[in-house]
């Protein structure tokens, strides 16, 4: 097997990844954890070697008060008091010198690492915008306008406050019933896909149930209030709603030590080791991000390109400034005549369709007798700052078609375009139609937008103020950093792609489990300034691609209605980057 090229980055994840559970290891499986806060005093105090372990009074203190009784995290009424499970056996007791030495070593290591990392982090925060593509000044202006509209209608504001007050009165009454030993129906429940409150204590324990419901009530009230403000244009209203949700998600009680029962339980059982491990994970992420917080979503050491990911045998057969073209030979005795070309997006790595043998589309295709070619896009630096969208068409699919004919002798090809690669494929087909070039015999589009009228929540980043600020940043370096795009995409699903990892990595002190899709997601690339500015302005902001002659590439007016190539379009229902109503709109064009 020829080694895969390693200098060609690029990526962004599709949909919402789910955090798996592994029964064999106990990872993220709350049913396998001890569910008590038993013997809290004894666990947090480091006794000397002769300290009694029983609940009998200490002989040297005959008048000592009775030892604290076991407190369980669930307060369900039972006919008999629940007995606290025995503390798990530890090889070294809490007073052993080896434990103390290890703890001291960790504290010293963390202190040494944190000093320069935190300084570097603060310096970068003051020098760079850490919100990806967002412009904080633009966000502030939107909320100032909303506040002015609210204050102009005090009656509606009072009505909203009374509604929240009534909800809280009902919640307090029902909570009091539970504290007195009764039962009460919940005022509000998490949505079916909300995994923040999956721990049983959020329901079984009255206090945590109250914290959960009070948060959900307030979140619902706040998001409803900002949606009902009148007199705000649709674009501003969408921006206000989006950033209100970011605020609400960030303040969830599950994100904090003292209001997350799972984290409290882990802290007591490990005697704070989880918090030390979490701080170490935080510092490691700051170091890996060179002063910027790069939250680790998977075990980055678990995968090696060409070893256990992207393992289908292939070879590079062509290269120019923007691409390497990888050829995969069919694994069958008979070979289909027409080769298959795959165009991935240039914000993603080429191996999204070749993650592992059991989920590799490329492996399947060569097993069906296809000769497969995949474009691997370059990771641009300042030298490619002036590369345009037309350059990506000319040096991408058009150059690849020429190279395929030279490698196989076949002039015709079937082509797949994925996401932004599909948008480029549609542009290329319209360009080829104008040139009477019919080499592409079928086109398949994976989650591809060509009509950006319903572009989803990504549109909150696309206004004149934010685009101008983004272009100024790109022009300083000549490109947009891949991590900026990563932050933007992660904000679209903050609970799953940001806060779940904050809790797991920094509060529970765990390392993320290996996940091939999230490894690919973290393997990001940059975008040239000229190309990216053209794409955002002409497609996302102005939606010119759907207009006949709205854009021109290499002097050719692009009209998608001239495409006559047989096409298949694939959309996904939960896609938060290319919403299916937007991708479906292409069926009305070609």
Distance CA 524, CA 532 (A): 15
**Measured distance CA(22)–CA(475) in Å, rounded:** 46
Structural contact between residues 13 and 519, judged by C-beta atoms closer than 8 angstroms: no
Q: Are strands 323-328 and 372-377 parallel, antiparallel or unpaired?
A: antiparallel
CA distances from 458 to 10, 315, 396, 452, 490 (A): 19, 36, 26, 10, 11
Judge contact between 554 and 390, C-beta under 8 A: yes
Q: What are the backbone angles phi and psi of residue 388, rounded to the nearest 5°? A: -105, 175
Cβ atoms of residues 197 and 253 within 8 Å: no
What is the rounded distance in angstroms from the CA atom of residue 397 to the CA atom of residue 428? 8
User: What would the two tokens of residue 133 be?
Assistant: 């593509």
* 316 backbone dihedrals φ, ψ, rounded to 5°: -80, 125
Estimate to the nearest angstrom the gap between the alpha carbon of 346 and the chain centroid. Answer: 18
Nearest to 453 by CA among 583, 558, 306: 583
* Annotation marks residue 11 as catalytic: no
DSSP state of 372: E
CA dihedral 287, 293, 299, 304 (to 10 degrees): -70
Angle between helices 261-270 and 273-288 (to 10 degrees): 110
415, 344 Cβ separation under 8 angstroms: no
Are 510 and 29 spatial neighbours (Cβ–Cβ below 8 Å)?
no
Closest CA to 576 of 16, 53, 89: 16
Question: Which active-site residues does the annotation give?
Answer: 419
């Amino acid at each position: 097997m020829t080694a895969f090229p390693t200098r060609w980055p690029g990526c962004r994840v599709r949909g919402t990844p789910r955090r798996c559970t592994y029964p064999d290891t106990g990872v993220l499986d709350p049913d396998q954890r001890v569910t008590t806060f038993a013997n809290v005093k004894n666990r947090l105090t480091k006794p000397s070697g002769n300290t009694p372990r029983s609940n009998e009074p200490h002989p040297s203190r005959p008048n000592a008060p009775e030892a604290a009784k076991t407190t369980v995290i669930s307060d369900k009424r039972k006919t008999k008091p629940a007995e606290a499970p025995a503390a798990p056996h530890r090889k070294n007791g809490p007073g052993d010198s080896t434990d103390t030495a290890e703890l001291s070593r960790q504290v010293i290591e963390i202190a040494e690492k944190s000093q320069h990392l935190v300084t570097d982090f603060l310096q970068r925060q003051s020098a760079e915008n850490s919100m990806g593509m967002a412009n904080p000044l633009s966000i502030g202006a939107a909320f100032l306008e909303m506040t002015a509209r609210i204050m102009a209608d005090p009656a509606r504001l009072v009505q909203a406050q009374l509604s929240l007050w009534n909800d809280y009165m009902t919640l307090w009454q029902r909570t009091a019933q539970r504290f007195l030993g009764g039962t009460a129906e919940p005022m509000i429940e998490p949505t079916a896909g909300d995994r923040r409150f999956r721990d049983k204590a959020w329901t079984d324990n009255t206090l945590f149930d109250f914290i959960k419901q009070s948060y959900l009530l307030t979140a619902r009230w706040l998001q409803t209030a900002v949606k009902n403000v009148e007199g705000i244009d649709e674009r501003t209203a969408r921006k206000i709603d989006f950033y209100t949700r970011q605020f609400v998600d960030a303040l969830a009680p599950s994100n904090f030590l003292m209001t997350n029962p799972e984290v409290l339980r882990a802290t007591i059982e490990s005697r704070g080791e989880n918090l030390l491990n979490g701080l170490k994970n935080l510092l490691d992420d700051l170091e890996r991000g060179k002063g910027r917080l790069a939250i680790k979503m998977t075990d980055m050491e678990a995968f090696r390109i060409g070893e256990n990911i992207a393992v289908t045998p292939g070879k590079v057969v062509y290269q120019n400034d923007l691409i390497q073209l990888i050829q995969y030979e069919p694994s069958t005795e008979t070979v289909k005549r027409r080769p298959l070309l795959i165009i991935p997006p240039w914000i993603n790595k080429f191996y999204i369709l070749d993650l592992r043998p059991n989920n590799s589309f490329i492996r399947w295709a060569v097993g069906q007798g296809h000769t497969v070619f995949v474009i691997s896009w370059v990771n641009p630096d300042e030298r490619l700052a002036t590369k345009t969208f037309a350059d990506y068409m000319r040096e991408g699919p058009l150059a690849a078609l020429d190279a395929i004919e030279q490698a196989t002798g076949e002039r015709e090809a079937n082509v797949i375009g994925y996401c932004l690669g599909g948008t480029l494929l549609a542009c290329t087909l319209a360009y080829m139609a104008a040139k009477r070039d019919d080499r592409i015999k079928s086109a398949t589009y994976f989650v591809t937008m060509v009509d950006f009228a319903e572009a989803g929540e990504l549109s909150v980043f696309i206004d004149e103020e934010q685009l101008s600020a983004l272009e100024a940043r790109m022009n300083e370096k000549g490109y947009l950093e891949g991590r900026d795009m990563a932050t933007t995409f992660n904000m679209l699903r903050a609970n799953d792609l940001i806060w779940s990892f904050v809790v797991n990595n920094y509060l529970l002190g765990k390392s993320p489990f290996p996940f091939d899709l999230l490894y690919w997601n973290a393997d990001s690339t940059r975008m040239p300034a000229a190309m990216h500015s053209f794409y955002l302005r002409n497609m996302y902001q102005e939606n010119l691609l759907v207009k006949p002659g709205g854009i021109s590439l290499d002097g050719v007016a692009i009209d998608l209605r001239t495409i006559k190539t047989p096409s298949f379009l694939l959309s996904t229902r939960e896609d938060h980057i290319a919403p299916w109503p937007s991708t479906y709109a292409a069926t009305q064009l070609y």
